[in-house]
Chain A
Amino acid sequence: MNSLESQLLQLAVAIPLVAALIIAVGLPKRYSTKLAAVAFTLPALIAIWLWWKFPAGGGGQYQFLSSADTGLGAFGIHLTLGLNGIALPMFLLAAIAGLAAGLYALRSGAERLKLYLLLLLVMHGGLLGVFSSVDIFFFYFFHELALIPTFIMVGVWGGRDRNYAAMKMTIYLTVGAMLSLIGLIALYVKSDANSFDLIVLKQAIAAQGISGAVQNHLFALLMFGFSILVSLWPFHTWAPLGYGAAPSSAAMLHAGVLKKFGLYGLVQIALPLLPDGAAHWAWRLALLGGIGNILVIGFVTIAQRDLKQMIGYSSVMHMGYCFLGIAALSTAGAGGVVMLMLAHGLSVALLFLLATSIHHRTHTFDLAEMGGLAQKTPVLAAFFVAATFASIGLPGFANFWGEFTVFVAVWKMSHAMTVVAVAGAIISAVYGLRSAARVFFGSPTEPLQRVLARHPASDLDWTERLPALILLAALLFFGLYPRSISRAIDEALLRPTAVVDSTVSFHR
């Protein structure tokens, strides 16, 4: 129970939070940045170590378990941490993206840097907690812990329309979070297990089951609650606005990692516990996700002129694949979603990082006012093109395996939906490549030449290059060697109780 690894897991969650507390109490600024750097790095090292130690053949079970009573034991709420094959990739994503966002923030030169780092550390700790929580109450709790700093960061350091964006995000995401909280409490009450522990809940529900009608209601609560948080069309309007206004590190962590909370909740909790409810709602989810997110938002993305808004919309659009994969109700679908979440998280974080780096050089996000930047900044151009390729889902990047598997799974469900999904891949190629071409190739526009004359553009320096390299390396690694992570996902999903239909297994 209390092995070295389970203690390391606890430490990984605790380190950023404790560091934030120390900074809050009043650490001088120069020590604060050093402490923050350490607190961003250690969890990533721990995550890689845990991934290394994750036992083969044990993906179905939670590993590295540890449990503590914080005072709500009477309600079956314990701070239980552990990782299974679904949680592991997400935990790894949180650690890597958090490291990149943290390193980027250290040198961002933000005003009130101490408060900025403090909030980012709280967010990082919350994210690591979300994906390592076995207890669904703490799963929600850590999500909120990571969410609140986002609002403040948008409000204080945001760009255009920050007040409006912060308010809108707050209200949308609070509604979503409240619905999912009610759904989770309802699940707890209806399971009669008197425990929020996911393992206990699974056993209790497997033993006695929940009737179909109740499952439909519960799944609806969870689905809509979680989906608002993931920006399901038509509840997506907060996302491009919020990401457009958010400071880069907050956008990286929110779009890259925190938004995956809802999908992760659907895959880890709703699908295995409420199979009948999932079957009842699958088609509606597929229609909203497929038509709404992929097609409608896809075209909206093509029409964007603002680079950051475009990336925000593209992240909304890519969530459509995830919804389709979940609606496919198969191992392959769910597995593809987990892989895609990991890959998309890395790639969208990279894109937001690079967009900010572009802004530092062009002083605008307007695509119409850019061009020809590749001559001045070849490394930045190379990174951006690579990130765009990843985002489109070209083979060699992790995104490919996620999208490909989702396509295969959706084919089993509906051929028409597969056509929609493949059309989406073409749409994302259109806007992705076009934005890369507009920013980096051709000749600089008039306004840009004026800006460049005043502020000569230098190429990516090491403080930008290092976090970008971390993200890109992870994308390539999982793209070229997917088995390193998909083995654990496979094992977790192939448990008898975990899936509805296990005819298709996840890319063997």
Chain B
Amino acid sequence: MSTELLKAIADSNQWWAIGPEMILGCAALGLLVLEILLPKDRHRFIPAFAVVSLFMVLVAVVINFDNIRGGDALFGGLIRLSMFGQVARIFFLFSSLLVCFLASVCLPRTRMPRIEFYHLILVVTAAMMLLTQSNHFVMFFVALETVTIGFYILVSYFRDSVLSLEAGLKFLVLGALSSAILLFGIVLIYGAVGRVEINGVVHTGFEYGTVLEFLRQHPDNFLATAGALLVIGGIAFKIGGFPFQIWIPDVYQGAPTPVTAFLAVSSKAAGFAVLLVLIEEAFAPLSAVLTPVLSLMAGATILFGNFSALTQRNDKRLMGLSGVSHAGYLLLGVVASLTVSWAVGAIWFYLFVYMLATMAAFGVMAYLGMTEDAGLELDQYHRLAKDRPFLGAVLAVSVGSLAGIPPLAGFMGKLLLFIAAFQAHLYWLLGLAIVGVILSIFYYFGWIKAAYFESAPTAGDRRPASAATVAVSWVGVATLTILTLATVLLGFYQQPLTSWLLK
């Protein structure tokens, strides 16, 4: 290699491009330093440091949103900025802020160390942000593993709870399996594509652009196709797509509530973000194979999620399994995005409104939850609307939005996905999705029914005594009110999101 080449590579290392991730990484380390430096009685201020740094980065990304338009690959082809990469950054930052809020509700109830929790949230957030900007399979895998390993720790964070440990073990075993599948897929693609020299620069089969070019010339290459399918299988584990969804109910129930919310929102969104990038920038020529595979996966995911959620009585398992069905609707959007380009915006719109509603629902669950944090039975929600009108209203709006009841924002999300599916002529999938929505009304409505219509808790299913008295701090009231109002207002007025996502 000549010095010019090295210089060119060095020039392409535009550190500002990954500034947000670096700041988060530094903040994560700073948390640990603060823990050592500050006296014990000041430790309660450390989470605030995490929240402030997340918030500052969020503000910085939003302000610079229009300055970053994407374009060339940076860092020797490892990273490429794009418009939706910025959207993803904002999504993950916002979601992590809400996870921090949930953690501030749940963690004080236990004797677990707190600082490491926020440390891990920051690291995982940074890794997710890098993941969606990755332009290279090595970058992709490293970022993904950082996320996954962070989650291994987070899921079993309550180490004196049997359920949390069990969830952690299940997640570890199945997560490792999915990583292996993913890695095998990457290796197959690399083996098929090999090394290509373009303009004197050697490109490898790790770069998305090279894979795209190769597949365009050899769309029938078996190894590369198999590799692509395996990679998609590995991602399906993250998003909970059928048949890789089997870990969800147990892990969601056992994990601490903030982690469950983190898994349900950020981890799922990261899977979709990276899936959309891969499909568009690496696997586009394979659409003849991907369309049927993803369609099957979408249909099966919708049906599995809804049917298995029908009989659930535990709120966290219900969120998990109904979350599978949401992954199914989103996969429907992914299939549509192969032919209808604006569907990507519709998927992000859906993810945003899903985040608002899911986080609000988990907020209510966090306040009502018990110390072992294994979720409540739906019967324990009886009389909630009467005893705790505020929490009841938040729950009704967020669950209604998840069910896609107009005029809440969730309905608009589904509507956009369905219009995209219509334009992509996916009539059968659309029919399945409609069946799914109707099924989902049943179990979501059952939840609202438990909170609003049932008058008295049955003797055996009383809410934990703490739930009747636990005070909702002003931060909690403000956060939940903002989430709820946003869910209602976005149902009437979508301009703030659509003007941004559907250009």
Contacts and interface: CB of A to CB of B under 8 A. Distances in A.
Contacts of B406: 140-141, 144-145, 148
A148 B453 contact: no
B60 to A, nearest CB: 26
A426 interface: no
B494 A70 contact: yes
Size class of the A contact interface (CB-based, 8 Å): 20 to 34
A156 B452 contact: yes
Nearest to B342: A74
A71 B494 contact: yes
A223 to B, nearest CB: 17
Contacts of A185: 418-419, 422
A75 B406 CA distance: 18
B65 interface: no
A163 B400 contact: no
B405 A148 contact: yes
Given A72-B498, A189-B422, A167 B400 contact: no
A110 to B, nearest CB: 14
B495 interface: yes
Contacts of B494: 70-72
Contact of B499 (A71, A144, A178): A71
A188 B422 CA distance: 10
Contacts of A175: 438
B247 to A, nearest CB: 31
The DSSP consensus for interface residues of chain B is helix
Contacts of B497: 71
B110 interface: no
A69 B494 CA distance: 9
A145 B408 CA distance: 9
Nearest to A151: B445
A166 B445 CA distance: 10
A171 B430 CA distance: 19
Interface string B451-492: 011100000000000000000000000000000000000001
B253 to A, nearest CB: 26
B434 interface: yes
Contacts of A155: 449, 452-453
Size class of the B contact interface (CB-based, 8 Å): 20 to 34
Contacts of A178: 434, 437-438
B172 interface: no
Contacts of A385: none
A75 B405 contact: no
A125 to B, nearest CB: 10
Nearest to B497: A71
A471 B62 CA distance: 55
Nearest to B389: A115
A457 interface: no
Given A171-B438, A174-B438, A178-B438, A144 B422 contact: no
Nearest to B421: A185
Contacts of A75: 416, 419
B441 A171 contact: yes
A71 B494 CA distance: 5
A436 to B, nearest CB: 34
Interface string A71-98: 1101100000000000000000000000
A345 to B, nearest CB: 23
B414 to A, nearest CB: 10
B12 interface: no
A194 to B, nearest CB: 10
Contacts of B419: 75, 185, 188-189
A486 to B, nearest CB: 33
A467 B160 CA distance: 63
Nearest to B481: A25
Interface string A219-261: 0000000000000000000000000000000000000000000
A71 B422 contact: no
B423 A74 contact: no
A175 B435 CA distance: 9
Interface in B221-257: none
Contact of A144 (B411, B442, B449, B496): B411
Interface string A186-218: 101100000000000000000000000000000
A155 B416 CA distance: 30
B15 interface: no
Interface string B392-420: 01000000100001110001100010110
Contacts of B407: 141, 144-145
A162 interface: yes
Contact of A182 (B412, B434, B448): B434
B452 A71 contact: no
A170 B502 contact: no
Given A141-B407, A185-B422, A74 B498 contact: yes
A475 B406 CA distance: 33
Given A148-B400, A166-B449, A167-B445, A71 B434 contact: no
Contacts of B495: 69-71
Nearest to A142: B407
Interface string B100-128: 00000000000000000000000000000
Contacts of B498: 71-72, 74
Interface of A: 24, 69-72, 74-75, 140-141, 144-145, 148, 151-152, 155-156, 162-163, 166-167, 170-171, 174-175, 178, 182, 185-186, 188-189
7 contacts: A71-B495, A72-B494, A145-B406, A167-B442, A170-B441, A182-B418, A182-B434
For the complex of A and B, 7 pairs with smallest distance between CB atoms: A71-B494, A71-B495, A144-B406, A155-B453, A71-B498, A145-B407, A174-B441
